[in-house]
Structure 1
Amino acid sequence: MCSARPHHLNRYVLGSVKTSFTRKSPAKKLFSIVGPQSSLIGLTAVCQSPNTVYEHETPNFDTVCGVGIRCMDPTLKFSILLLLLGLGCHSWGSHNSSTAVNASPIKNDFEHCERVVKKWAFSSLQQEVKDKHTLRDLLFFLHVPRTGGRTYFHCFLRKLYYSSLECPRSYDKLRFDPRKQQCRLLVTHDDYSMMSKLPRERTSVVTILRNPVDRVFSTYEFSVEVAARFLVHPNLTSATQMTRRIRAKTKGVSTLDIWPWKYLVPWMREDLFTRRDGRKLRGSNNFQGKDPYNMEEIVMPLHKFINHPIAQEVVHNGATFQVAGLTNNSYLSVAHEVRHCVHKYKLLGDHVLQVAKKRLDDMLYVGLTEEHRESATMFANVVGAQVISQLGGSNSSEESATDSKSEQNYSDSDSKPDNNDLRNRTPNGKESEFASPETVEPAKGNMTVEELMESYEDCISNLRKSQTLRHNASLKRISPANFTKEARLQVPEAVLQQIRQLNHLDLELYKHAQNIFAKQHKRNFGITEIWRRMLKSSYGTGIKVLSLGATLVLLLLAFHVFVNAKRRTSKVKV
């Protein structure tokens, strides 16, 4: 008789049988497939006899039912083999099928993205610009944030163009109407897709680029600075309500209407109030650390700012996407999908970079923030000279009077705070003695390039003083955090390296802009011409003094040589 042995004993029985077979035994092959703990043999029938097999004993195939070769029916053995082989093949096939199914969507998604990006890039690269060195009827100043474009607008373009010639509501695309009669100037943070709304054949584009690392620093600092102006309010609710009331009463364009500040400033504003409320709850006013870019109790640290999804969307590689026309503020319907694909598959970013490079190549002027004086001089001679020539005597006193009555009340994002209580005030609350950009008077009548440069120098001096006062007043509200060039040196190299990696497209575009700038400089200025223009510019005074001094020294030296020569001649005669 055979009876059921407990399962834990079955394991030992099967294990004993497996280890006792010879290499050539066909039964060993079977057990090698089944395994000592196979679930196919839940209960093994073992004969109740003195020959019962345990782990240390040699099995007797005549007495081990269901395991021994003689006890097992050949058909059953064959069926078990087929079943095991089927299970193994099914398991292996399922694994590979699962891998294939998972890999297929990824491959298909990349191929789809590649098609979308390449199609957009191909159509963009086909657009040709003829005679790019000549100023056309409409000047589009594509203002990349934090590159110094505000200075060019107030101190150059507003000297050249009256407000009556500006396209309505620059910096506010919701009210933009390029069909306005006599619209000759558009200055905006909108990206290159704005060209789809403009008469391309009658439009010239200019821009300024900045070292990407410095631009990220400046974007972070300005976002915090503007947000800090709201800390005069007791809480965030009060600040937002007051802002809505002020914006409803004024005709000007608020910083909160302008890309990218309409995303960055509210984000930083909420963060500053949250951190201030946290300090009040803890009753803590003791701040550790001297690095203003890493004062977590007061302001969001720089390393967290650069890794936030909002910064990923509107800050990193911002110049490349803006010049390519692919920001989240774009007019192009395909922009979102192209940008999404490039963010997901970094390899596709090269197509966007090539389009952005070509756009720079086709521009009338490309300036560099770091080369401020050379860029300003070139702008005056390349752009300013052509504007003066085109407009001629149009800047008459009659047009000036019309301009003063213009309804346009422009406010640049870098110069006007959202709270009127803070506008043009010193840290003591008194009105600033320096003119704000909104009150800068345009030049009257015709002018020369040299006069334009002199006017520019005076303008930026006042502008910088006003900006410094506003900057200091804002940062006092988040003291001891104080952003300076010296403080930037304290930022760890690891953070700087991460900024470079996150802005790899902008770094390449900036290198290309440097090459363009060098070619512009060579094309427009020979050595003699550069010297002549610098002498006539306001900052050429020092050069004039040095030249005069050198001339006097040479004259004295010549006189000394002449006197000595005359004395020698007199001695020879004697």
Structure 2
Amino acid sequence: MDSTVKCTILLILLGLVVNAFSVTDYEHCENVVKKWATNSLKHESKEDKHALKDLLFFLHVLRTGGRTYFHCFLKKLYSSSLECPRSYDKLRFDPSKEKCRLLVTHDDYSISSKLPRGRTSVVTILRNPIDRVFSTYEFSVEVAARFLVHPNLTSATQMAGRLRSKNKGVSTLDIWPWKYLVPWMREDLFARRDARKTRGTSDFTSGDPYNMEDIVMPLLNYINNPIAHEIVHNGATFQIAGLTNNSYLPESHEVRHCVDKYNNLGDYVLQVAKKRLDNMLYVGLTEDHRESATMFANVVGQQVISQLVNSNAIGKEANVNNSEQGTSFSDSELDQNTNSDEKGNETTSSDDNEVNQDNMTVEKLMDTYEVCISGLRKTQTRRRIASLKRISPANFTKEARNRVPQMVLQRIQSLNKLDVELYEYAQGIFAKQHKQAAEKLFDARTLGSIFIYWGGIKLWDACLWTMPFVLLFIFLFVNAKRRTLKLKI
């Protein structure tokens, strides 16, 4: 047989084998993902989602502003004794703690397997996927840049290790996913700084902070890196689905692998994530900040107040936040030469506002929130400026973000298709919740206005007293009209 014919036959057979293997592999993956999705949907609660249960689980999706809600809303309502030992500054979660009423964490939805079934309400916030990727990149750089005060990477790593073992608190490096993203970026920043020293030049080829490769990893390189694929892209969907690389589910890695390999299987993950959003007590949007905060106070805050006020749980530790400030530290403490504004933990400014919680209302909660968030933003801005000075002239601003090439934006969107669809779905849920909350608030205010005092007399009583005079006036007016009409005729 001619060698050409033999080669052709061999290639055909090889192709058939590869194709058969691919079909088998796809069918296996489809079965794995389908099985997970079916089990996940089967365990979804059928109870009233609008009523706050015994435990409130705040599922903090990465870079959505959830920490603001934690410090400026929830810490003003729940005393420290009611927090589950996993809320940012407490890493070991103990589901057996009887008084555990609040859990706020970056852990994905799979942690709910350790929570009391049927007695847990879930809330979350979502953000525009493109903005969320930008924010994740910027925060990774910001935190990693705090270590550049050290002469080299070895010194920075050793100092971080000593501080973390010495302090009882928790560093950003202890929290998922920053424990992966920050060391990665930190190593890259030191490598680029060392390369600049070796070249002996301070000339920079680009004025775009998102593409200043002499100083910091370009955004395009960041989003195309396997680490970003593993943690950042479609992060909201996988976090709500319970499929991050920090998941409690043993099958999560295989499900993720199959979805990454066969993109169409992502539809099953979306189905689960959407169903879970449907069953949540509250879904907020970072972009609609004011409306989200107001709705959170009225939907969640009001129920927390009603639930805890009877047990006198609110206000037992009015000054608890100040006492906790020494239990955690931020990576800015690694800088031995920073000023006092840069030092301290992540909660410094937000927790300085002592609040009288004995008679907490939704209105007081919102007032407290406004004061708290103002201080928190000032602290975050100071810390951000101090960090970015170390990688000057790279500076992330809204103006610089608006100048990022369209090609990069399209790449981010294509890598986050699941998140884009989930965010659009969340916008629909938010609109419905906003409408329901507005109608409920209008009904409550309308009913309450009947009993408002007006000049020392209840408005209802005033109406009863004035009604006869109004009827008499109408009667006289109608009769006068009739007489006028008869005269004209």
TM-score, normalised to structure 2, is 0.85
Moved beyond 6 Å, runs of 4+: 404-410, 427-432, 530-533
Structure 2 SS opposite 1:525:
helix
Residue in 2 that maps onto 1:107: 23
Maintained 8 Å contact 2:342/2:386: no
Match of 2:272 among 338, 355, 363: 355
Residue in 2 that maps onto 1:366: 283
Q: In structure 2, what is the Cα distance between the partners aligned to 1:237 and 1:268?
A: 14
Structure 1 SS opposite 2:35:
helix
Any unmatched runs of 5+ in structure 2?
A: 447-489
Q: Which amino acid in 2 is paired with 1:144?
A: V
Match of 1:467 among 380, 384, 388: 380
Verify: 1:287 aligned to 2:204, yes or no: yes
Structure 2 SS opposite 1:366:
strand
Q: In structure 2, what is the Cα distance between the partners aligned to 1:140 and 1:410?
A: 22
Residue in 2 that maps onto 1:141: 58
Residue in 1 that maps onto 2:73: 156
Moved more, 356-365 or 175-184: 175-184
The number of equivalent residue pairs is: 445
Maintained 8 Å contact 1:168/1:408: no
Structure 1 SS opposite 2:98:
coil
Residue in 1 that maps onto 2:454: none
Counting only pairs closer than 5 Å after superposition, residues 346-495 of structure 1 correspond to structure 2 as: 346-395=263-312, 399-400=316-317, 403=320, 411=328, 417-422=330-335, 435-437=348-350, 439-441=352-354, 443-495=356-408
Maintained 8 Å contact 1:314/1:328: yes
Cα offsets for 1:13-71 (capped at 9, x unmatched): xxxxxxxxxxxxxxxxxxxxxxxxxxxxxxxxxxxxxxxxxxxxxxxxxxxxxxxxxxx
Residue in 1 that maps onto 2:152: 235
**Largest Rg, 1 or 2:** 1
TM-score, normalised to structure 1, is 0.73
Change (3 A) 1:281 1:438: farther
Maintained 8 Å contact 2:332/2:344: no
Q: Which amino acid in 1 is paired with 2:385?
A: N
Q: Which amino acid in 1 is paired with 2:370?
A: E
Identity %: 68
1:200 shift after superposition = 1.8
Q: Which has the higher contact order (CA 8 A, sep 6+)?
A: 2
Change (3 A) 1:443 1:309: farther
Residue in 2 that maps onto 1:499: 412
Structure 2 SS opposite 1:186:
strand
Residue in 2 that maps onto 1:303: 220
- CA RMSD in angstroms comes to 2.8
Q: In structure 1, what is the Cα distance between the partners aligned to 2:9 and 2:313?
A: 84
Q: In structure 2, what is the Cα distance between the partners aligned to 1:512 and 1:398?
A: 37
Any unmatched runs of 5+ in structure 1?
A: 1-83, 534-574
Match of 2:34 among 118, 132, 138: 118
Q: In structure 2, what is the Cα distance between the partners aligned to 1:431 and 1:171?
A: 15
1:348 shift after superposition = 0.5
Residue in 1 that maps onto 2:485: none
Residue in 2 that maps onto 1:338: 255
Structure 2 SS opposite 1:522:
helix
Structure 1 SS opposite 2:317:
helix
Change (3 A) 1:530 1:216: farther
Structure 2 SS opposite 1:175:
coil
Residue in 2 that maps onto 1:54: none
Maintained 8 Å contact 1:388/1:447: yes
Structure 1 SS opposite 2:85:
coil
Q: In structure 2, what is the Cα distance between the partners aligned to 1:364 and 1:524?
A: 12
Change (3 A) 1:180 1:205: same
Change (3 A) 1:159 1:423: farther
